[in-house]
Amino acid sequence: MTIFNFSAGPAVLPKEVLQQAAAEMLDWHGSGMSVMEMSHRGKEFMSILEAAQRDFRELLGVPSNYKVLFLQGGAIAENAIIPMNLAHLKGQSATVDYINTGSWSVKSIKEAKRYCDVHVAASSEAQHFAQIPARDTWQLSSNPSYVHICSNETIDGVEFQYTPDIAAETNNAPLIADVSSHILSREMDVSKYGVIYGGAQKNIGPAGLTIVVVREDLLEGGHAMTSCPSAFNWKIVADNDSMYNTPPTYAIYIAGLVFQWLKKQGGVAAMEQRNIAKAALLYDYLDSTDFYQTKIAADSRSRMNVPFFLHDHALNDAFLEGAKERGLLQLKGHKSVGGMRASIYNAMPLEGVQALVTYLKEFEKREQR
Ligand code: PLP
């Protein structure tokens, strides 16, 4: 039986990548060492790191005036690290703006409040996060140090389908985006952002690696808080080429293999087309029947995380049981939302979504008999 794993993360990796990693596990390229055993400053690992950085930059089209940092800590740590590095960009009394679009925004806001004055410029909380607040309703500050968005809400299933333009209203505040759960799934104009960041464990690789892409001018000026740990001071990390402390070496190695896999698939543009097709297949079916429901407005639906509900919640357990018997795993929704959630990241093939839709139809037919 073919297994399709719909986990929201840590997520499925391409089979080819896992096979290659397994083949190289004990002896990487004749070095006599596993990547886990290598010095992070030795020439073998340095070549792995450089290739991963180069391929990532190429895949995402990162402009030359941006640094790509490989860190530890995950996106939740970045929720504190961002204000520690940038809240004082425009002076100690400046405020920072956040757009509240779901559970991950809520966490980011809560954490930032520990370090600075946070202004929530727009929120869809009252609408149960079913739609990204329309850009023309945002009440941005006139001179915030930055504006933060979560561009794909993994739990609530909303995704920005555009890059918000905020510069004119905010005296050129940098836009910061938590891209954890859709990075490399769609093309992005990085030059429109000051910072993008995310944990690797959805579209990139194993948990443990955090990627921060930061515009170089934001590192200058010495505005990081003195309380910011050196290992999380982006300027120090950048000056040390992500080697200030020991980087998550094995996670970087696997990420590098995923980047090579992505290039073989045709890069991010090709991946985006596949992701559009996969999401359309699933949403179109969900929209075609009352047996299942999606609650997310059409203009805000995530291509990566698709929460949906059975019209009769009493059938939830039977649905999950039947799915498991068919090899369709980890479809249970997040506890704060309930129902089901299908996460269909880059490594999920179209066949996986086809198998899910076939099962949705079968289950519906069986229950309606
Ligand atoms: N932000 C988003 C959008 C996420 O999906 C997640 C994890 O699922 C996080 C932040 C938290 O990441 P981490 O657990 O790596 O700190």
Q: Which residues pair with 341 in a beta bridge?
A: 307
Q: Return the percentage of the chain with pLDDT > 90, whole number.
A: 98
What is the C-alpha radius of gyration for the chain, rounded to an integer number of angstroms?
21
* Position in ligand 1 atom list of the atom nearest CA 73: 16
* pLDDT of the residue at 57: 98
Q: In the predicted model, is pLDDT for residue 369 greater than 90?
A: no
Q: Which residue has the higher pLDDT, 368 or 239?
A: 239
* Position in ligand 1 atom list of the atom nearest CA 76: 16
Amino acid at 134: A
Instruction: Report if residue 72 sits inside a domain.
Output: yes
Instruction: Report if residue 3 sits inside a domain.
Output: no
Vertex 55: Cα angle to 10 and 147 (nearest 5): 65
pLDDT band at 368 (very low <50, low <70, confident <90, very high): confident
Q: 168 with 316, same domain?
A: no
Q: Where are the alpha helices (DSSP H) in the chain?
A: 15-24, 43-60, 74-86, 103-112, 234-239, 249-264, 267-287, 316-325, 350-368
Q: 172 with 320, same domain?
A: no
* pLDDT of the residue at 227: 95
CA 237/CA 220 separation, integer angstroms: 13
CA 47/CA 238 separation, integer angstroms: 18
DSSP state of 359: H
Q: 233 with 274, same domain?
A: no
Distance of CA 197 to the CA centre of its chain: 8
pLDDT band at 261 (very low <50, low <70, confident <90, very high): very high
Of 263, 290, 307, which closes a domain?
A: 263
73 CA from centroid of ligand 1 (Å):
10
CATH number at residue 125: 3.40.640.10
Q: Is 245 annotated as a binding residue?
A: yes
Pocket perturbation via mutation, ligand 1, pick of 104, 150, 185 by most ligand atoms within 8 A of CB:
104
Q: 131 with 87, same domain?
A: yes
Instruction: Report if residue 60 sits inside a domain.
Output: yes
pLDDT digits (tens, 9 = 90+) for 38-60: 999 999 999 999 999 999 999 99
Q: 255 with 297, same domain?
A: no
Q: Return the percentage of the chain with pLDDT > 70, whole number.
A: 100
Q: 254 with 283, same domain?
A: no
pLDDT digits (tens, 9 = 90+) for 284-314: 999 999 999 999 999 999 999 999 999 999 9
Instruction: Report if residue 50 sits inside a domain.
Output: yes
Long-range contacts of 48-57 (CB under 8 A, 24+ apart): 48/249, 48/252, 48/253, 48/256, 49/242, 49/247, 49/252, 49/256, 51/256, 52/252, 52/253, 52/255, 52/256, 52/259, 55/256, 55/259, 55/260, 55/262, 55/263, 56/211, 56/255, 56/259
Average pLDDT over residues 317-336: 97
Q: 249 with 314, same domain?
A: no
Average pLDDT over residues 1-5: 95
Asked if 159 contacts 151 with a C-beta cutoff of 8 angstroms, the reply is yes
* Position in ligand 1 atom list of the atom nearest CA 78: 16
CATH number at residue 298: 3.90.1150.10
* pLDDT of the residue at 117: 96
Q: 273 with 135, same domain?
A: no
* pLDDT of the residue at 300: 98
DSSP code per residue over 44-108: HHHHHHHHHHHHHHHHHT--TTEEEEEESSHHHHHHHHHHHHHTTTT-TT--EEEEE-SHHHHHH
Give the residue numbers spanning the domain of 356. Answer: 266-368
Pocket perturbation via mutation, ligand 1, pick of 154, 155, 203 by most ligand atoms within 8 A of CB:
154
pLDDT digits (tens, 9 = 90+) for 71-123: 999 999 999 999 999 999 999 888 999 999 999 999 999 999 999 999 999 99
Of 234, 263, 292, which closes a domain?
A: 263
Instruction: Report if residue 59 sits inside a domain.
Output: yes
- Prior bond to 63 cis, omega within 30? no
CA 336/CA 50 separation, integer angstroms: 40
ipTM greater than cut 0.95:
yes
Instruction: Report if residue 4 sits inside a domain.
Output: no
Asked if 33 contacts 44 with a C-beta cutoff of 8 angstroms, the reply is yes
* pLDDT of the residue at 273: 98
66-71 and 210-215 strand pairing: antiparallel
Instruction: Report if residue 1 sits inside a domain.
Output: no
Distance of CA 9 to the CA centre of its chain: 10
76 CA from centroid of ligand 1 (Å):
6
pLDDT band at 161 (very low <50, low <70, confident <90, very high): very high
Q: 60 with 105, same domain?
A: yes
Of 263, 283, 307, which closes a domain?
A: 263
Q: 317 with 293, same domain?
A: yes
Instruction: Report if residue 5 sits inside a domain.
Output: no
Number of domains comprising the chain: 2
Ligand 1 pocket, Cβ-based, cut-off 6 angstroms: 9, 74-76, 104, 150, 154, 178, 180-181, 199
Using DSSP's 3-state secondary structure scheme, residue 146 falls into coil
Q: 340 with 205, same domain?
A: no
Q: Is 2 annotated as a binding residue?
A: no
Q: 273 with 250, same domain?
A: no
**Which residues are catalytically annotated?**
104, 178, 202
Ligand 1, atom 15, lies closest to the CA of 74
Mean pLDDT, the chain, rounded, equals 97
DSSP state of 133: P
